[in-house]
Amino acid sequence: MKIGLLNGGGDCPGLNAVTHGVVGAATQLGWEVIGFKEGFEGLLSPGSFKVLKNEKTEGILRMGGTILGTTNRGHFSGKVGEGGVRKIPKELMEEAFTTLRNLDVEALICVGGDGTLTTALQFDEEGFPVVGVPKTIDNDLAATAMTFGFDSATQTVVDALDRLQTTADSHKRVMVLEVMGRHAGWIALYGGMGGGASSILIPEIPFSYEKVAEALAKREANGFRSGLVVVAEGACPVGEDLLYKDTSTGGEHRLGGIGIEVTKRLAELTGKETRCTTLGHLQRGGSPTSLDRILATRFGVKAVKLIEEQRFGRMVSYQQYHVGSVPIEDAVRQLNLVDPDGEIVQAAKSVGISFGD
């Protein structure tokens, strides 16, 4: 049997570990794996694929990025603008199916987030057997308790905060760190808690600048020399609009800029020297953590298993320490967001972290 594999959407630490898992499991079954380059785009250009052999993928689980390449723009963007679903034109689907049939590929594993899985679902609905693997640093996919890449991104935030804390303390400054996550606050929440932030601003909890400034003043009164404020790119002050970096690109709109705003306003309100760092794509690059390597490998192996069992239209899912599967449509129908009243936020508040609410 020949199976196809592609990565879609933004890259994320652990993508190569999935490839390692898929190729390892498929080789044991005597199957061949064809890896398509640059996501679904690889299905449009002849020769845009690699035959993935076990001996070639052996060492890649520790590597960041993806040996196949990926894109979060292009012909097959399943999500556009502000999370809008896009129907892929029939002619494009036909072109992709022709490539797959010409190569005798019988099933396709699509590794991606919301957008990629939305496109994958359309392939499945049009009759091409597909299995999905959830991937995103944002951890915003429903129907899986965690996606690989999230732990690595969170660790990058923690490392950044550890560094910012020492310089902040030396200068008695407030340091603002803008992090990714799109409309979910998971990276800010976990990164902020792990890195000892004093305030965490997330999309799920609209904030007030005055409340954040009050919390910083209280810290100062209690003898703390500095403050670390983590702000998610999708966080929004009460009654204001989201800030975008770019709304003109083909795929989803790009968020960004709230870190600078928060820095300016907190400097005015607190009178303290305040500086902004935007962590950006550092969160997507580099080697995966051990947790992500293992989760991604298990996801790859499970995807092959689902094909073996002919359970198509399903996405690998992690629930209660177990890797199982769910229908792809369960994962893409809604976002997995932080519960503002949930236990994690309450725990953060209990140790004095302000959410500006």
Catalytically annotated residues = 138
| 181 contributes a contact to ligand F6P by CB under 6 A | yes
Segment interacting with ligand F6P, rule: CB under 6 A, options 174-182, 190-198, 221-229, 259-267: 174-182
Beta-strand pair 49-52/32-36: antiparallel
CB of 180 to ligand F6P, least distance (A): 3
4, 8, 10, 42: residue in contact with ligand F6P (rule CB under 6 A): 10
Q: Report the C-alpha gap between 75 and 125 in whole angstroms.
A: 18
Closer to ligand F6P by Cβ: residue 156 or 354: 156
Q: Report the C-alpha gap between 101 and 99 in whole angstroms.
A: 6
HEC string for 48-59: CEEEECHHHHCC
Segment interacting with ligand F6P, rule: CB under 6 A, options 101-109, 120-128, 162-170, 180-188: 180-188
Scan residues 261-320 and list those touching ligand F6P (CB under 6 A). Answer: 284
Q: Report the C-alpha gap between 103 and 6 in whole angstroms.
A: 15
| 138 contributes a contact to ligand F6P by CB under 6 A | yes
Scan residues 203-262 and list those touching ligand F6P (CB under 6 A). Answer: 233, 254-255
CB of 117 to ligand F6P, least distance (A): 13
CB of 246 to ligand F6P, least distance (A): 8
C-alpha distance from residue 246 to each of 178, 201, 240, 242, 280 (Å): 16, 21, 18, 12, 14
Rounding to the nearest 10 degrees, give the CA dihedral for residues 67, 70, 75, 80.
170
Segment interacting with ligand F6P, rule: CB under 6 A, options 164-172, 176-184, 270-278, 308-316: 176-184
Segment interacting with ligand F6P, rule: CB under 6 A, options 31-39, 82-90, 102-110, 134-142: 134-142
Residue-wise over 333-357: b if at least 16 C-beta within 10 A, else e?
eeebbbeeeeeebeebeeeebbbbe
Q: State the residue number with the nearest CB to ligand F6P.
A: 180
7, 57, 72, 152: residue in contact with ligand F6P (rule CB under 6 A): 72
Q: Report the C-alpha gap between 40 and 119 in whole angstroms.
A: 9
* Residue 167 identity (one-letter amino acid): T
Q: Which residues pair with 277 in a beta bridge?
A: 177
Closer to ligand F6P by Cβ: residue 204 or 274: 204
DSSP 3-state percent helix, strand, coil across the chain (nearest 5): 40, 20, 40
Closer to ligand F6P by Cβ: residue 26 or 331: 331
Helices marked H in 13-135 — which ranges? 15-28, 54-57, 90-102, 114-125
Does residue 187 contact residue 153 with C-beta atoms inside 8 Å? Answer: yes
Closer to ligand F6P by Cβ: residue 242 or 323: 242
| 137 contributes a contact to ligand F6P by CB under 6 A | yes
Tokens of 323: 């890797």
Q: Report the C-alpha gap between 305 and 298 in whole angstroms.
A: 10
Going residue by residue from 93 to 132, which x/- string records binding to ligand F6P, judged by CB under 6 A? --------------------x-------------------
Closer to ligand F6P by Cβ: residue 109 or 180: 180
Segment interacting with ligand F6P, rule: CB under 6 A, options 51-59, 82-90, 178-186, 198-206: 178-186
Closer to ligand F6P by Cβ: residue 115 or 313: 115
Q: Report the C-alpha gap between 299 and 148 in whole angstroms.
A: 9
Residues that bind ligand F6P (CB under 6 A): 10, 72, 113, 136-138, 180-182, 233, 254-255, 284
